[in-house]
């Protein structure tokens, strides 16, 4: 058994539960805490393994010193604790970034079936029918025919500013019409 393997074994026998408790304090989840410790052990001790048969030294975050695979590894628990913290913070940052952008996905987490697509199409058609003729024409030309504002203005014989106003008004009206009932303001409260 290599020196690093015996150190790893000793660390887990004597301090394994303390490392898991430390990770649990960070994450608040027992399973995640165990995963964090395992990932940290892999991160720290994979640097110590080296290439079999070569007996080379590997640089470890011990200042500028390199760790000799045949010498004892000092403060292994400290390195593992630091790795647990680093891995946890990296995951936290990723979750925060995801929370900030997941609402931008076009589809929700469940897969959309044909019945949902047909229902959405019917809802949009009904909402378009509630718009005025000019607003509806601007929305259809802009979002269904993919025309630019100048092209719409030429097609309808109006000014570009008028087309922009119609599109703005229509968008606001469609948002209100298509808003789910559970997101509508309650009666008696002012809408923001």
- Indicate the residue among 58, 75, 104 that finishes a domain: 104
pTM: 0.42
Structure confidence at residue 161 (pLDDT):
96
Query: Does any domain span residue 189?
Result: no
Query: Does any domain span residue 192?
Result: no
Q: Are residues 73 and 141 in the same domain?
A: no
Summarised one tens digit per residue, pLDDT across range 28-72 is 888 999 999 999 888 887 776 553 443 444 444 444 444 444 555
How buried is 51 (Cβ within 10 angstroms: 0-12 exposed, 13-18 middle, 19+ buried)? Answer: exposed
How far apart are the C-alpha atoms of 60 and 68, rounded to whole Å?
Answer: 10
Per-residue tokens: 94? 């990723």
Count structural domains, the chain.
Answer: 2
146: region left, alpha or beta (phi > 0 left; psi from -120 to 50 alpha):
left
Q: Are residues 148 and 171 in the same domain?
A: yes
Structure confidence at residue 65 (pLDDT):
46
Q: Are residues 8 and 97 in the same domain?
A: yes
Query: Does any domain span residue 120?
Result: yes
Of 143, 108, 126, nearest in space to 178 by CA? 126
* Backbone angles phi and psi of 65, in degrees to 5: -85, 150
Query: pLDDT band at 168, cuts 50/70/90?
Result: very high
Q: Are residues 100 and 131 in the same domain?
A: no
Kindly state the percentage of the chain with pLDDT values over 90: 14
Burial 166-191 (b: 16+ CB within 10 A, else e): bbebbeebbeeeeeeeeeeeeeeeee
Q: Are residues 132 and 92 in the same domain?
A: no
How far apart are the C-alpha atoms of 95 and 83, rounded to whole Å?
Answer: 18
Q: Are residues 18 and 73 in the same domain?
A: yes
For position 151, which CATH number holds? Answer: 1.10.10.10
Instruction: Pick 59 or 157 by higher pLDDT.
Output: 157
CB 57 within 8 A of CB 66: yes
Residue 82: partners with Cβ closer than 8 Å, 6 or more residues away:
61
Structure confidence at residue 160 (pLDDT):
95
Q: 14: domain range?
A: 3-104
Least confident residue range of 41-50, 62-71, 85-94, 174-183: 62-71
* N-terminal to C-terminal alpha carbon distance within the chain: 68
Query: Does any domain span residue 37?
Result: yes
- Indicate the residue among 55, 83, 104 that finishes a domain: 104
How far apart are the C-alpha atoms of 128 and 132, rounded to whole Å?
Answer: 8
Give the DSSP per-residue string, 77-105. HHHHHHHHHHHHHHHHHHHHHHHHHGGG-
- Indicate the residue among 76, 104, 132 that finishes a domain: 104
């Amino acid at each position: 058994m290599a020196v690093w393997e015996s150190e790893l074994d000793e660390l887990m026998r004597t301090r394994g539960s303390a490392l898991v408790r430390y990770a649990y304090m960070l994450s608040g989840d027992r399973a995640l805490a165990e995963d964090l410790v395992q990932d940290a052990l892999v991160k720290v001790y994979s640097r110590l393994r080296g290439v079999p048969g070569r007996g080379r030294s590997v640089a470890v975050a011990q200042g500028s010193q390199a760790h000799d695979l045949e010498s004892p590894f000092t403060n292994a628990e400290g390195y593992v604790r630091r790795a647990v913290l680093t891995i946890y913070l990296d995951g936290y940052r990723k979750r925060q970034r995801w929370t900030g952008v997941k609402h931008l996905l076009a589809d929700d987490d469940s897969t959309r079936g044909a019945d949902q697509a047909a229902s959405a199409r019917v809802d949009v058609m009904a909402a378009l029918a509630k718009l005025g003729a000019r607003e509806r024409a601007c929305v259809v030309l802009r979002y269904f025919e993919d025309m630019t504002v100048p092209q719409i203005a030429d097609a309808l014989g109006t000014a570009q500013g008028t087309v922009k106003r119609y599109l703005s008004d229509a968008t606001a009206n469609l948002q209100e019409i298509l808003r789910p009932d559970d997101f509508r303001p309650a009666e008696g409260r002012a809408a923001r």
